[in-house]
Amino acid sequence: GNSVTQMEGPVTLSEEAFLTINCTYTATGYPSLFWYVQYPGEGLQLLLKATKADDKGSNKGFEATYRKETTSFHLEKGSVQVSDSAVYFCALSDLYNFNKFYFGSGTKLNVKP
Amino acid sequence: DVKVTQSSRYLVKRTGEKVFLECVQDMDHENMFWYRQDPGLGLRLIYFSYDVKMKEKGDIPEGYSVSREKKERFSLILESASTNQTSMYLCASSPGTGTYNSPLHFGNGTRLTVT
């Protein structure tokens, strides 16, 4: 079946620190992979995506590379800001099942000034 | 931009009440979804619909039903609310099959408290 596992939080960093949030997946086919971000009191917003192996998604300084050999899609940012404090969700979509999405449990990021 | 609108941000209901959560999207998307979000559990799929009047159970459908009479509107119904249904409910939509790498677009959520 399909599933997503991401590192537990919370992750607490100082401003300008390097960020990595680990995400691994299990999939029966060839999924697309996504990172979503949720700011307090809001719904989820798409942060970036990758649709095939070795693709790199990027947005707002965040990056993630679709690694088929390690079934991973780790989120990275070189220098975090206080405004990046949010909950981050890794997800995959299943082409063969109405594009159903499978989400990780979320990782809360706290960035301190 | 796609807009997914959930009719209420906060709801407080009593145990046993019938509760309706409404969701409307404005981008002619075929697929619509209802998730609940709970701390430590992430997002869990309750129901989804891939066409008008069509519905499929997700991972946790017990205690819920849905209605999709029009393409733009997808309603979640709690037939008899219970305290364990206190949660954040998120509606989402996406284009239909053939657009497999399209993201989900989410509403801002409805925080439901059942007392």
Structure tokens at B50: 């891939």
Beta bridge partners of A92: A33, A102
Q: How close A53 gets to chain B, by Cα (Å)?
A: 13
Peptide bond into A113 cis (omega under 30): no
d(CA B113, CA B88): 9
Q: How close B38 gets to chain A, by Cα (Å)?
A: 9
**To probe the interface with A, which of B100, B102, B105, B108 has the most A CB atoms within 10 Å?**
B100
Residues in B closer than 8 angstroms to A106, CB to CB, are 42-43
Going through chain B in order, the beta strands assigned E by DSSP cover 4-6, 10-13, 19-25, 31-38, 42-49, 56-57, 64-70, 73-78, 87-94, 105-106, 110-114
A89 within 8 A of B42, measured Cβ to Cβ: yes
Q: What pLDDT was estimated at residue A8?
A: 85
pLDDT at B100 over 70: no
Residues in A closer than 8 angstroms to B90, CB to CB, are 43-44
Which helix (DSSP H) or strand (DSSP E) does residue A106 occupy? none
Kindly give the confidence (pLDDT) of every residue in chain A, 113 residues in length, as a single tens digit, with 9 standing for 90 and above.
Answer: 889 999 888 999 999 999 999 999 999 878 899 999 999 888 899 999 999 899 999 999 999 999 999 999 999 999 999 999 999 999 998 777 667 889 999 999 999 99
Residues in A closer than 8 angstroms to B41, CB to CB, are 105
pLDDT at B85 over 90: yes
Please state whether beta strands A11-14 and A107-112 pair in parallel, antiparallel, or not at all (unpaired): parallel
Q: How close B34 gets to chain A, by Cα (Å)?
A: 11
CB pairs under 8 A between A and B: 59
End-to-end CA distance of chain A: 41
Nearest CA in chain A to B51: A98
pLDDT digits (tens, 9 = 90+) for B32-52: 999 999 988 889 999 999 899
pLDDT at B6 over 90: yes
Q: CB atoms < 10 A from the CB of B9, how many?
A: 11
B88 within 8 A of B111, measured Cβ to Cβ: yes
A112 within 8 A of A14, measured Cβ to Cβ: yes
pLDDT at B98 over 80: no
Q: What pLDDT was estimated at residue B92?
A: 94
Mean pLDDT of the residues in chain B: 92
Q: Distance of CA B72 to CAs A19, B61, B97, Å?
A: 38, 21, 17
pLDDT at B97 over 70: no
Residues in B closer than 8 angstroms to A43, CB to CB, are 4, 90, 106-109
